[in-house]
Structure 1
Amino acid sequence: MAQRFEAAIECFAPTLPLAIGLSGGADSTALAVACARRWPGQIQAIHVHHGLQPAADGFARHCEALCSTLGVALTVCRVNATAAPGQSPEDAARKARYEAFDTVALAANGSFAIKSIALAQHADDQAETLLLALSRGAGVAGLAAMPARWERGGVAWHRPLLQVPGADVRRWLLEQGIAWVEDPTNSDTRFTRNRIRAQLLPAVEAVFPAFRDTFARTAANAWQAAGLLGEIAQEDLARVGVPPALAQLQQLSRARQANALRHWLRHHHQTTPSAAQLAEMLDQIAACTTRGHGIRLKMGRGFVVRSGLHLDWYDAGAMSA
């Protein structure tokens, strides 16, 4: 039912001008076409050329041809998306994309200064992300999956198709007679997300036909809960200080200690502890009753240490560089 796609576009109300993340696949092609028709002269497109596969040049040519037809300005960003040691290829490519989008948004000016950026992930993508989070034992932040809207670098980011099944997007494109390109890596079952798409989602749909809607509600509820936990963490960090004072931390419940410390590490040091690392840190804090009790724990890519009456963190890589 292509009507769900059309309804999503009708409800989409970004601040203009708007940039579309355009990969050349069905989802971003449909989003670019629909937005260009709705807001002529107010749309730009950004294509990130990862250079990771031979088909990448073909993706760029498709985007150039499409944007020429639509009368939409296109920026092609060539990036280095090679994964660092210990980093997954998917994470490396995602990081490179967002950095490219930020660069284009900052460079835009005048009548085409970008106010909003739209990405084309849909309901199937959201379900896959939620299942990946469940498989990793994620907390509410992970179960929130992909937000529909957020702010980054003074720009509003949107995912207007999160309630639309991928099949509906493709059906709309077929009705319009518009071509797209297929990423050959999407059928590579070495990637977990592709196995979920090919093997797990059909089985889930057979048992729970409305899973896309219910999974989306779960993600939205988790997003709200994660926001509340973030507010509590900020309040607690205002009490215990940054870096956190041990005595003040010990006055919090274990759950609030964990929430505050996770927030401190993520937002102040861009690292996320594992569940086991966080549990060990909480045990050490509980046992820290004398001035001579030292703490030095591996945490993310660095270490949490006791520094006088406080906890502190340092980046092991930066220290050895």
Structure 2
Amino acid sequence: MENPAAPALASWAAPLPLGVAYSGGADSTALLHAAAARWPGQVFALHVHHGLQAAADDFEAHCRATCKALDVPLHVGRVDARHAPGESPEDAARRARYATLARLAQANGLHDVALAQHADDQVETMLIALGRGAGLDGLAGMPRRMKRHGIDFHRPLLDVPAVALREWIAASGTVHVDDPTNADLRYTRNRIRLQLLPALAATLPQFRETFARSARNAARASRLLAEVAASDSETAGLPPTLAALRTLPRERLANVLRHWLRREHDAVPSEAQLEQLLDQIEACSTRGHRIRIKVADGYVQREGDVLRWYNARPPSQPAALR
């Protein structure tokens, strides 16, 4: 039985050398095996030790043994991914994971990292976004390529169903680890994976393909809005001036503010925060009008004729790399 990750990699013009995010789980194991077979000597495994559970040391030991057998260099980054009060544990762990993968890649001269997220992960991401009332960016799901912390992250398996990867793991007897937190129903993504996706499969058997089509349509519309926002940003300036912002219709104003906050500060305002900011900008007709509104983990504040965003989150501790 062929590893289903292999044909996905065969159709991908991978940038080499390539880092592979390797947790030791079934999905990243299938990706690492396929990548090591296709590009021998050009693949480096990157493992994040989250420090969130006692089994983390065992996961690292397993990854070392597997990489030794595959003759793939392994680089490990340790990070404290515990979440702050009021912060989503999933979001905190994801931010820590990407930051650590990027530092590992940079420390070893890599510019590109492949992730093992697959078709089911894409559906889960879209459903989470829909449940949060997200806009087009959220409904577009995960892009095949994105830049974060100066590193290009790639998702070559987005068309591969999870069941195909797991069937290959089982049929081939490939050893992997099972993270017990993946069965914890306190986490939204786990509830979707374990409870909702089986119901979708029974009701809409082609849901992976139709969701993927919707994601592509949303991504196209999102790119168009991004082009409009980029043009408006050139006019508004960085940081944006209130005078220029106030010339824009409300929908374009909302679009350019989202673009500015996300691109320059990695901050995503809630709908309520954005509406409050829009109201304040539209009402800001005098120099004495103050603006200070909470947005994401910080604040948007008026300073003279411009808006600035300040991060209220304390800086995180750097991860140790090995």
Q: Specify which of 152, 156, 163 is matched with residue 152 of structure 2.
A: 156
How big is each residue's C-alpha offset from its partner over 1:29-86, in whole Å with a ceiling of 9 and x where there is no partner? 0111111111111111011111211221221122111111111111122211111233
* Match status 1:70 vs 2:63: no
Partner of 1:86: 86
Q: How many residues align?
A: 314
TM-aligned CA deviation for residue 192 of structure 1 = 1.0
**Structure 2 counterparts to residues 299-314 of structure 1, below 5 A:** 299-314=295-310
What is the letter of the counterpart of residue 15 of structure 2? T
Partner of 1:189: 185
Where structure 2 has 5 or more consecutive residues not aligned to the other structure, the ranges are 315-322
Find the aligned partners of 1:92 and 1:153 in 2 and give their Cα distance: 16
Find the aligned partners of 2:256 and 2:267 in 1 and give their Cα distance: 14
* Match status 1:102 vs 2:102: yes
Find the aligned partners of 1:291 and 1:49 in 2 and give their Cα distance: 50
The percent of aligned pairs where both chains have the same amino acid is 56
User: Are residues 150 and 257 of structure 1, via their aligned partners in 2, closer, same or farther at CA, if it must alter by over 3 Å?
Assistant: same
TM-aligned CA deviation for residue 3 of structure 1 = 7.1
TM-aligned CA deviation for residue 246 of structure 1 = 2.4
**Which deviates further from its counterpart, 201-210 or 216-225?**
216-225
User: Are residues 310 and 212 of structure 1, via their aligned partners in 2, closer, same or farther at CA, if it must alter by over 3 Å?
Assistant: same
* Match status 1:264 vs 2:260: yes
The TM-score with structure 1 as length reference comes to: 0.90
Partner of 2:45: 45
What is the letter of the counterpart of residue 175 of structure 1? A
Partner of 1:245: 241
Partner of 2:21: 21
User: Are residues 289 and 156 of structure 1, via their aligned partners in 2, closer, same or farther at CA, if it must alter by over 3 Å?
Assistant: closer
Find the aligned partners of 2:94 and 2:3 in 1 and give their Cα distance: 30
**Which deviates further from its counterpart, 220-229 or 23-32?**
220-229
User: Are residues 7 and 295 of structure 1, via their aligned partners in 2, closer, same or farther at CA, if it must alter by over 3 Å?
Assistant: same
How big is each residue's C-alpha offset from its partner over 1:86-135, in whole Å with a ceiling of 9 and x where there is no partner? 32221222122212211221122xxxx42421110111111111100000
User: Are residues 188 and 252 of structure 1, via their aligned partners in 2, closer, same or farther at CA, if it must alter by over 3 Å?
Assistant: same
Find the aligned partners of 1:296 and 1:47 in 2 and give their Cα distance: 40
Find the aligned partners of 2:3 and 2:65 in 1 and give their Cα distance: 26
Partner of 2:227: 231
What is the letter of the counterpart of residue 228 of structure 1? L
How big is each residue's C-alpha offset from its partner over 1:254-302, in whole Å with a ceiling of 9 and x where there is no partner? 1100011112222333322211111122122222334443333333333
Q: Cα RMSD over matched residues?
A: 2.1
TM-aligned CA deviation for residue 151 of structure 1 = 3.2
Partner of 2:125: 129
Partner of 1:174: 170
Where structure 1 has 5 or more consecutive residues not aligned to the other structure, the ranges are none
Find the aligned partners of 1:77 and 1:313 in 2 and give their Cα distance: 30
**Which deviates further from its counterpart, 124-133 or 261-270?**
261-270
User: Are residues 80 and 271 of structure 1, via their aligned partners in 2, closer, same or farther at CA, if it must alter by over 3 Å?
Assistant: same
**Which deviates further from its counterpart, 47-56 or 264-273?**
264-273
Find the aligned partners of 2:297 and 2:3 in 1 and give their Cα distance: 47
